[in-house]
Amino acid sequence: MSDSLTNISTLNNGLRIATHHMPHVETVSLGIWVHAGARHETASQHGISHLLEHMAFKGTNRRTAMGIAEEIEAVGGELNAATSLETTAYYARILKDDVPLALDILADILQAPLYAQDELEREREVILQEIAGTRDSPEEIAYELVQEAAFPSQSIGRPILGTAESVKSFTADDLRSFLKQHYTGGRMVLSAAGNLSHDAIVRQSQALFGSLSAGADGGYEPARYVGGPRMSDKVFEQSHLVMGFSGPSYRTTDYYTGQVFSGLFGGGMSSRLFQEVREKRGLCYAIYSSMWALADAGLFGIHAATGHDALGELIGVVNEEFAKAAASRPSEAEVARSKAQIKAGLLMGLESSGARAEQMARQLLLFGRLVDTPELVERIEAVDAEAVRSFAEKLVAGMASVAVVGTGESSGAYAAQAAQKAA
């Protein structure tokens, strides 16, 4: 990115610092994105990335857990974190004068966590409740089943939270060892957007993170898509259908084709799925498609919920729409509408300091450079109707990953029906 408001620096240990100055605002969003997540776990480490993220807030050499919370909230700041398959992010939103405090806390919790035994025991209980909460969401159950169907026996096919057993199994030494191996300078990006000074952030980061080892990037096994039907025998008021197909990674031009397809297929109110399923048939309150991408793989997915007795009709309609999309090109108007929505979304994202900081961090981790909006727009513009049709054709030529949740014992038969028709 070449504008004078955006700057990148790299410390000797490889830690990259990206900032974007927004002079008209009073606050700053900033965080550390680490290229370490559930995907970097071995089978016996299942859930350790997420537990480690939780334990970052439970005290350091210099701060108690309560001290961390009090210091950031005393200045009106917010501190949070999130673990995903390939990255773990620790981020804050603060008033512009409090950048030094936020950086100091982030450096502390990432480099000097205590992992005290009593805190570890209690945090396991918290995560068990977090896991129990997902068991009460038919949507989350369905997404988890599709992830497992798509990538069975792989770290990217497992729930990020881990299992009750795995969460109970980790010791403080396991956490320390995972931290030392994966939380290294070369795998971290510090990204900040708001009313800030790049030079001041670099100076302070040098002091705070300069002694962190460079480390090597962590390898992981390549993704292997499989697919197939899955079900849960739980009964809910509604039946949830989630279907996934092997999709492009972030690194391919197909990714942009997929975004255009997703927009016109199940993106907004004018999309095919919304019109066919909600507007013409009244089957669902919401139906949407989404692109979910990793460095070397991805899933194109759709989700909808309906009454048990309408599930068969829903599956039929969705598969018919997939077949139509593969068989003939979308209209120029549909393609143009989807592109317009993606481009407007890019502009809207730039106005939020949090979205901008996250975008810069993800681009540096994925591409090793920032990709500016004109370049993204160019890639979107390059997609044409035939590329969209061909994308849909390739999608549905593969085995679908399907989960049906909510219909009880019949869920399995519905999932098999959906997977078969879609293949």
Q: Is 129 helix (H, G, I), strand (E, B) or coil?
A: helix
**In this complex, which beta carbon is closest to a copy of itself, that of residue 132 or of residue 382?**
132
Q: How far is CA 175 from CA 37, 44, 64, 113, in A?
A: 13, 13, 18, 10
Stretch that binds a copy of itself, among 115-123, 172-180, 182-190, 357-365 (CB under 8 A): 115-123
Q: How far apart are the C-alpha atoms of 423 and 417, rounded to whole Å?
A: 10
State the binding string over 142-181 for a copy of itself (x if CB under 8 A, else -).
Answer: ----------------------------------------
**Is 53 labeled as catalytic in the residue annotation?**
yes
Check residue 374 for interaction with a copy of itself (CB under 8 A): no
What backbone phi and psi angles, to 5 degrees, belong to 170? Answer: -80, 140
Question: For a copy of itself, which residue of 97, 117, 133, 216 counts as binding (CB under 8 A)?
Answer: 133
Q: How far apart are the C-alpha atoms of 185 and 301, rounded to whole Å?
A: 34
**In this complex, which beta carbon is closest to a copy of itself, that of residue 222 or of residue 409?**
409
Check residue 283 for interaction with a copy of itself (CB under 8 A): yes
Between residue 190 and residue 219, which ones bind a copy of itself under the rule CB under 8 A?
none
Check residue 135 for interaction with a copy of itself (CB under 8 A): yes
Question: For a copy of itself, which residue of 41, 108, 123, 144 counts as binding (CB under 8 A)?
Answer: 123
β-strand partners of 161: none
Check residue 341 for interaction with a copy of itself (CB under 8 A): yes
Nearest to 300 by CA among 367, 397, 413: 397
215: left (phi over 0), alpha (psi -120 to 50) or beta: left
**In this complex, which beta carbon is closest to a copy of itself, that of residue 36 or of residue 65?**
65
* Site size for a copy of itself (CB under 8 A): 73
Question: For a copy of itself, which residue of 168, 224, 251, 278 counts as binding (CB under 8 A)?
Answer: 278
Q: Which of 26, 41, 53, 71 is catalytic?
A: 53
Asked if residues 137 and 236 have their Cβ atoms less than 8 Å apart, the reply is no
Q: How far apart are the C-alpha atoms of 241 and 233, rounded to whole Å?
A: 13
**In this complex, which beta carbon is closest to a copy of itself, that of residue 98 or of residue 148?**
98
Q: How far apart are the C-alpha atoms of 260 and 405, rounded to whole Å?
A: 29
Q: How far apart are the C-alpha atoms of 264 and 389, rounded to whole Å?
A: 11
Question: For a copy of itself, which residue of 45, 353, 401, 417 counts as binding (CB under 8 A)?
Answer: 353
**In this complex, which beta carbon is closest to a copy of itself, that of residue 154 or of residue 166?**
166
Between residue 37 and residue 96, which ones bind a copy of itself under the rule CB under 8 A?
57, 65-66, 68-70, 72-79, 93-95
Question: For a copy of itself, which residue of 15, 34, 114, 127 counts as binding (CB under 8 A)?
Answer: 127
Question: For a copy of itself, which residue of 20, 124, 389, 394 counts as binding (CB under 8 A)?
Answer: 124
Q: How far is CA 168 from CA 38, 121, 165, 313, in A?
A: 17, 8, 5, 43
Q: How far apart are the C-alpha atoms of 234 and 325, rounded to whole Å?
A: 33
β-strand partners of 301: 244, 290
Cβ–Cβ contacts within 10 Å for residue 373, how many? 14
**In this complex, which beta carbon is closest to a copy of itself, that of residue 39 or of residue 63?**
63
Check residue 237 for interaction with a copy of itself (CB under 8 A): yes
Cβ–Cβ contacts within 10 Å for residue 265, how many? 27
Stretch that binds a copy of itself, among 217-225, 293-301, 343-351, 413-421 (CB under 8 A): 343-351
Residues with a catalytic annotation lie at: 53
